Amino acid sequence: MTSSALTRPGQRERLSSKLFEVDWRLALLLCMIAGVGALMLYSIANSSWEPWADKHLIRFGVCLALMLVLSMVDLRVWFLAAYPVYVIGFVLLIAVAVFGHSALGATRWLKLGPMQIQPSELMKIGVVLALARFYHGVSANDARLSWKLLIPAALIGAPVLLVARQPDLGTAILIALTGAVVMFMAGLSSRVLAVGAIGAIAGIPPFILFVLKDYQRNRILSFLNPEADPSGNGYHSLQSKIALGSGGFLGKGYGLGSQSQLNFLPEKQTDFIFATFGEEFGFVGCFGLLVLYAAVIAISLRIASISHSHFGRLSAAGVTATFALYILINAAMVVGLAPVVGVPMPLLSYGGTVMVTVMIGFGLIMAVRVHRYAEITSGRGALL
């Protein structure tokens, strides 16, 4: 009996068999990226494990264990949990709007005793699960073009509006783009996608002028011309490009990045840690890191492609799209090709909530890998 046969429906699965089916290559790549993040956090704290590197490693260790636990959960449970997870996340977003905790000019958090949670992070998973479950029971023709497309549009649009209102433009964009990717992979007509893209582009000017808050509008304008306000709105972008440029081809060396070590680079441990990495390890280091990310994306898409259920394929591909968009938006922001919108580099940047979200997503991808032969009925989500 082959190892893959151990997960075929109808056979009794033991925990050891499931662990054997986990893609340990993917787990190793995630550990490598998180390890690079810890090394960078150690470097920018003047060769100290505190206050960032030690917490980063502890959180990753806990999240890695969580990912392995979630990988053991069969797809029927994920399928049944899809809509409840979405609803819980949406209710929490409404709670944030009503009595959320404010910090740095934004209301994005809920305080639960000593804990503080950011519901918009949960919605990144919730939207993917809800869309994957919806499309699991939709015919190819309806997924391509029908009135039923209003349902996934609402599933995406409602949380996007609530998150944008917080305001958290970066997360709102990420949720919207992830939703669009899932709809496209589910079979959305290219004509509908083109019309939507044209409409979105046409709506950018009025959105900037009449919807965004003043500081968000200034960020957009400073992105177009950061030199116009080098010590104000253009400061982040200019310092980031200076850090990357000073790194050159091979970098200045580990722990020798002047922009980060001398605190010229803002948010060096979170949004702009990729610029810090580029200053110390140069183009070669950045290319190597992006290769690691590309390998994670390639393996994840491969896992999505081998799933026997439409729900498994779409959920794994949707989580992979979210991960890829994190990287794309952050890298574009750091090199000055996108406005500063507060999207971190996954597993590299310091931050607990984002790491938990990312690793839950990879727990889902691993679950698709382990239970790739599972067939899910549209009605009750029963394994056949």
Q: Alpha-carbon distance 194 to 230, whole Å?
A: 37
Burial profile 153-173: b = 16 or more Cβ within 10 angstroms, e = fewer = eebbebbbebbbebbbbbbbb
Residues in a beta bridge with 116: 111
Residue 302: predicted pLDDT: 96
Residue 233 or residue 89, greater confidence: 89
Flag whether 202 is in a domain: yes
380 occurs within a structural domain: no
Chain segment 25-68, per-residue pLDDT in tens: 999 999 999 999 999 999 999 889 999 999 999 999 999 999 99
- Smallest CA-to-CA distance from 173 within 34, 313, 321 is with 321
On whether residue 111 sits in a domain, the answer given is yes
36 located within any domain: yes
């054997």: which residue's tokens?
A: 20
pLDDT score of 34:
97
pLDDT value of position 102: 67
pLDDT at 210 > cutoff 70: yes
Rounded distance, CA 41 to CA 314, Å? 34
pLDDT of residue 200: 83
Q: Could you report the per-residue pLDDT of 138-179, keeping only the tens digit for each?
A: 888 888 888 888 999 999 999 999 998 887 888 999 999 999
What b/e readout covers 324-363, taking b as 16+ CB neighbours within 10 angstroms?
Answer: bbbbbbbbebbbbebbbbbbbbbbbbbbbbbbbbbbbbbb
The residue behind tokens 């449970």 is 77
The 3-state DSSP composition of the chain as helix, strand, coil percent (nearest 5) reads 70, 5, 25
User: What's the chain's Rg over C-alpha atoms?
Assistant: 21
Structure tokens at 360: 């839950």
Range of the structural domain that residue 242 is part of: 18-370
How many CA atoms does the CB half-sphere of 188 hold within 13 Å? 24
Q: Supply φ then ψ for residue 35, to 5 degrees.
A: -65, -40
- What would the two tokens of residue 304 be? 């999505």
Alpha helix (H) residue ranges in 248-340: 258-261, 273-305, 310-334
pLDDT at 209: 76
For residues 122 and 125, what is the distance between their CA atoms, to the nearest angstrom? 6
Is 9 part of a structural domain of the chain?
no
- Torsion sign, CA atoms 262, 263, 264, 269: positive
Residue 10 has pLDDT above 60, yes or no: no
**C-alpha–C-alpha distance, residues 310 and 343, integer Å:** 30
User: Which uninterrupted H or E stretch holds 95?
Assistant: helix 75-99
Could you tell me if residue 382 is inside a domain?
no
Of residues 246 and 108, the one with the higher pLDDT is 246
Number of domains in the chain: 1
Q: What are phi and psi of 114, to 5 degrees?
A: -80, -10
In the predicted structure, residue 268 carries a pLDDT above the cut 80: yes
Place of tokens 């009025």: 206
Residue 261 contacts residue 46 (beta carbons within 8 Å): yes
Residue 1 neighbours by CB under 8 Å, 6+ apart: none
**Hey, which residues does 103 pair with through a beta bridge?**
106
Nearest one of 301, 300, 289, 295 to 334, comparing CA atoms: 289
State the Cα angle at 11 between 9 and 13, rounded to 5°.
105
* Angstrom distance (rounded) from CA 127 to CA 112: 23
Residue 290 lies in a domain: yes
What are 68-85's pLDDT values in tens digits?
A: 999 999 899 999 999 999
Nearest-CA neighbor of 55 among 67, 37, 76, 72? 37
Whether 101 maps to a domain, the answer reads yes
Q: What is the pLDDT of residues 333-365, one digit of tens each?
A: 999 888 888 889 999 999 888 999 999 999 999
C-alpha closest to that of 107 among 25, 164, 166, 61: 166
Per-residue pLDDT for 5 more than 70? no
Residue 376 CA to residue 384 CA, distance in Å, equals 6
